[in-house]
Structure 1
C-alpha cells in the first residue's frame, strides 16, 4: 500500500505536468494573437497609434473587475468557474480573426473592440481564479524553481512560434497572412480549452471574512503590500507609455518588416527564457521583493538604450533594447506572480490578487493610452523624437525612480 506522502508527491507531480502541458497551446495561441501580431493586425484593420494604445490598455483596466468578483468567487466552483471564463476569453479573442469576413470595413475596429473587451473581462476574472488554483497546485518549496522552469520552456516555444508567425506574414502579405494565423489560433484555442478540463478540483480555503467591505479591508490595511502595489502601479503606468508600443515604433517609424520585428521579439523572448531560469534560481535564496527591485533598473536601461540610435546602427541597438526588456520584464512578471501568491495569506489570496490587479490595472490602462496619444501628437515633429526621444525621456524618469522611491517601496 502506498504511503500518504508518496501519494501526495505523485499528485503534485501530476499537477505540475498538467500546468506544463496546458501552457503549450496557450503559449502558441497567445503569441500568434497578441504582441507584435496584435499590433500588425490592428494596423491591417486600420487602427491609428492612439487606437492601438487603447486596445493594449483594455486588459489591464478589466482587472479592476477582480475586486467585486473576488468577494463572490469563494461561492463559485473554482475549477469550472475558471474553465468557463477562460474558455470565453479564448473564444471571443479568436472570433476577432473572422471580422473581415462578416462586417464592412467601417465596423472592423468597433467590432474588434467589443469582442476584445469581452474577452479580457473574462480573462481578468478567470486569471484571478487561475492564480489562486495554481497557488494550491504548486507547493511553496518548489514554486520558485518550477515556475522558472515552466516559464523558460513556454517562452522557448513562444520564440519558435514568433519566428514561424513572422515568416507566414512575410510570405503572405496583407490579410492573407492573418487568415493563415487565425486558422492555427483556432486549433490552439480548441486544444487549450480541452486541456483546461484536466485541472484538478482542489478545495478552496474560504475567507475568514464575509462581505466585500470586510474582505477588502485586509489588503488595504497591509501597509507593506499596499506600499509595494502603489509603487509598482506608478512604475507600470510609465513603462506602459512606451514598452507596449515598441512594435509600433519598429513597424511604423523605423519601417521594419514583420519578419525583422519577429526576430527582435524572438531575441526578447530568448532573453526572457534565460531570465526565468536565473531569477528562479535566485528566488530560492532571496526574497521576492528584493529581486523585484533589481529587475527595475534593467527595464529602465532598455528604454534608455533607444537613445543609442543617434550614434549606432539600428539593428544592434534594437537587439540590446530587446535583450534588456526581455530579461527585466521576464523577471518582473515572474517575481510579481510569486509575490502575490507567496507573500499573501492563503485564505484571503483572491482579494489580495484582486486589489493588486485593480491598482496596477488602472495604471496599466492609462499608460498605453497616454503613450499612443503622445505618438499621435508627435506626428510632424523631428524624426529622432518620434523614434527614440520618448523612450529615452521615460527611461531617465524610470531610472530616477529606481534610486529614489523603489528602495523604500520594496523593502
Structure 2
C-alpha cells in the first residue's frame, strides 16, 4: 500500500525542468549559505576594519558595474546560454578555493586580499546572474515561470536555512580557538566550491532551447531611443533603483548592530538568518497565490513596505531573542520581495535583446549596490546607529510609495484599453 501511494520526489513536480531548476537552487543556496552569511565575520577574524566590512558589501557591486553590459553582449552572442551559465558557475567556484588560501598568507594585507577576492568573485557571479535570469526566462514561459521560480525559492530557502543553522552551530561550538575557527571557515569555502560543482551537474540536466547556428545574426546593443520608448522598462528601472538605494544602505548597518551592539556570534547570526528563512519558506506558496490573483506589481508594494519597517524595528531590539523574532516577521515580506522584483523585471523586458535589458537593469542596481552601503556606513559614523536606521526606514517607505505610483499608473493605463 505504501509502495503504491509513494511518489518519488521527481514525480512531485509538473515538469522535469522544474525539478532540476529546484535542485539548481538547492545547490546554489547551499554554497551561498555555508559561507556568505559569515563573510563579514570571516573578514573580522582576518583583521578587517569597519570600512573594509562596508567594502565587502560594496566592491562586488562595483565590479559588476563594469562587466554586466559587455557580459550580456557576450551571453547574447553565445550559441548556448546554458553552456555559458555553467561555465560562469565554474569560474565563480574557483574563487572559493582562492579564499580558502588567504589565511595562509603571513601578512598584514591579508584582510585586503580577502576583500579584493570577494569583489573580484562578483565578476563571474554577476554575469552569471544575468545569464541565469535570461536562461530561466527562455526555458520557462507564462504561468509556469511563476510556478517554477516559486518552487525553486521554496526548496532553496528550506535547504538554505538548514545549511546556515548547521554552519553557525559548527562555527560556534566546534572551534576552541580563533585559529581553529579560521580553519572551519576555510573548510566551508571548499564545501561551497563542491556545492557549486553539484549546481553545474543539475544545470546540465535542464532541457533548454536549441543552440544558435554558427551563422546566427549577432546581437545589437539597444539604442537609447529604444530604451526610452519602452516606458514600462524605464519606469520600473528608475523606481527599483530608488528602492534599492534605500534597501542596500542598511546592509552593513544590520551587521554592525548585531555584532557590535548586541554582541552576536556566528551561531546567533545563523539563528537570526534562519528565523527569517523559515517564515520565507512557509510564505512562498501564499505569496504565489496572491501574485496569481492580484499581480506582481501590487504584491511588490506590500513586500517593499514590509522590508521598509525592518530597520526601524531592528534598533528597538535590545536582545538577540527580540531581534530573531523581528527577523522572522520580516522574512515573510522578504519572500515576496524576492519573487516580485524578479517577476516584475521579466514582465517589462522585451523578448528582443532581453539579456541586454536585464544587464542594463542589473548594472544600475549594481551602482546602488556599490555606493549605498558606503553611504549607509558614512551616515552611521557621522550620526549614530539609531538615526541612520530610522532614516533608512523612512527612505524605504518613500521608495514603496514610488512603487505604488507606478502600480497606479499601470492600472490607469490598463483601464483605458
> Given the two structures, how large is their TM-score scaled by the length of structure 2?
0.85
Distance 2:396 2:211 in 1: 39
Cα distance per residue 1:38-62 (max 9 Å; x no partner): 1111111111222111121233334
Change in Cα spacing, 1:79 to 1:67, as seen in structure 2 (3 Å) is same
Q: Is the 8 A contact 1:300 1:395 kept in 2?
A: yes
Distance 1:345 1:213 in 2: 11
How big is the shift at 1:18?
A: 1.5
Unpaired runs of at least 5, structure 1: 1-8
Name the counterpart of 1:93.
Answer: 96
Alignment of 1:351-370 (within 5 A): 351-370=356-375
Name the counterpart of 1:5.
Answer: none
How big is the shift at 1:223?
A: 1.7
Distance 1:347 1:187 in 2: 36
Once the two structures are overlaid, the 10-residue window that deviates more, 319-328 or 274-283, is 319-328
Alignment of 1:9-408 (within 5 A): 13-35=15-37, 37-64=38-65, 65-77=67-79, 78-101=81-104, 103-171=105-173, 172=175, 173-174=177-178, 175-203=182-210, 210-214=219-223, 217-309=225-317, 313-375=318-380, 377=381, 385-386=384-385, 388-403=386-401, 405-408=402-405
Q: Is the 8 A contact 1:272 1:327 kept in 2?
A: yes
How big is the shift at 1:187?
A: 2.7
Change in Cα spacing, 1:285 to 1:61, as seen in structure 2 (3 Å) is farther
> Given the two structures, how large is their TM-score scaled by the length of structure 1?
0.86
How big is the shift at 1:289?
A: 1.4
Number of positions where the alignment pairs a residue of Structure 1 with one of Structure 2:
389
How big is the shift at 1:110?
A: 2.9
How big is the shift at 1:151?
A: 0.6
Distance 2:276 2:97 in 1: 25
Q: Is the 8 A contact 1:205 1:346 kept in 2?
A: no
Distance 2:264 2:238 in 1: 37
Distance 2:226 2:212 in 1: 16
Once the two structures are overlaid, the 10-residue window that deviates more, 106-115 or 161-170, is 106-115
Distance 1:208 1:321 in 2: 52
Q: Is the 8 A contact 1:128 1:354 kept in 2?
A: yes
Name the counterpart of 1:6.
Answer: none
Change in Cα spacing, 1:208 to 1:330, as seen in structure 2 (3 Å) is farther
How big is the shift at 1:409?
A: 3.0
Change in Cα spacing, 1:133 to 1:19, as seen in structure 2 (3 Å) is same
Distance 1:250 1:112 in 2: 22
Q: Is the 8 A contact 1:305 1:317 kept in 2?
A: no
Q: Is the 8 A contact 1:302 1:324 kept in 2?
A: no
How big is the shift at 1:244?
A: 4.5
Cα distance per residue 1:324-361 (max 9 Å; x no partner): 43222321121111122233222321122111111111
Change in Cα spacing, 1:324 to 1:410, as seen in structure 2 (3 Å) is farther
Cα distance per residue 1:83-112 (max 9 Å; x no partner): 1122101211342122112x2232313322
Change in Cα spacing, 1:219 to 1:209, as seen in structure 2 (3 Å) is farther
Name the counterpart of 2:406.
Answer: 409
Change in Cα spacing, 1:130 to 1:163, as seen in structure 2 (3 Å) is same
Q: Is the 8 A contact 1:74 1:204 kept in 2?
A: no
Q: Is the 8 A contact 1:46 1:109 kept in 2?
A: yes
